[in-house]
Structure 1
């Protein structure tokens, strides 16, 4: 009969001088683009279950936006503008060639343009037609009267929905000025009798 031992049954004591060596091997596996998404393992599923539940996403298509989208018709200038851009990108045509097509041609693109404008209004990407929005412009100086600002594009501006305007001057000493009378003041103060021109990036409807 043997005496007590500290070695558990089924195991052998290690030999003096023996040590474990661990090697980490990196294996890359090719996964095709159309391969199904792998199922997460149990540890991953448990970790996801422990996370706090996220707040429900807010629906961007509100009833007001939906109603505004349904009131978007062919009278919205953006419909034909979108259709023209789509046609010219597809055909590499010119604006003159587009205008020759007539008011309602190609009809399919006009309808498609209206549907996309409606979708953009419903999603809040575009404002409803006729809703006041800011309009961007820049000042193009043909002749530098003062000899300070130089020629070319010298400032960027915004005409706000309330009729006021803000102008941000470029150059080595940039500054910002705000005009309560809007475009009238910008043209009167900075126009220099035609030496500087207001060029609209987003042309207001009353100027079209």
Structure 2
């Protein structure tokens, strides 16, 4: 049974008038938190959609890419998303509970923020309302401003600063650059994340982040080779 089918069944069991946030609270108390994690991330994405007042096809496509939603599960995922949009609980409800759920694994919180940034920029623009929303979620998660700037840079149109993507400055020497890069790759390695008991959805967010870090590092190396 897919994660979406499990969530659809759980939503179908909601008592009349019961909000999605109540389901999240119940699922977050279970040892296996995959359902709770997915509901919370979807809820944050749905709340963010209200920040600029519209949901574009590009944003929907980005959402599907992050969660690898198969065609057979699209209806179930759409129901979760629409239920989340109508939920009376504010985005901070979910943000604060996710922050507590992964307080000892800050890399997961960074991956969630990056997934939301990816969705927000999927239509080619970064609405001020979306940026304000993300900055507030990042503050709740305890994500540093410099890290947040790096996350935004990774999803800017062509021409984004690769040094900013890596979270370093251009004056860094080659040895320190390699160390910074390797530390990030090690933190995002699937085996390390699985050892922490993270749900598969968190691994997929990490994969997106790792791909951009690798591309930025390759670009910096080419730039340095060209001037040497």
The answer to whether TM tops 0.5 is no
Structure with the larger helix share: 2
Structure with the larger strand share: 1
Instruction: Name which structure has the greater RCO, CA cutoff 8 Å, separation 6+.
Output: 2
* TM superposition score category, shorter chain reference: under 0.3
Larger CA Rg, structure 1 vs 2 = 1
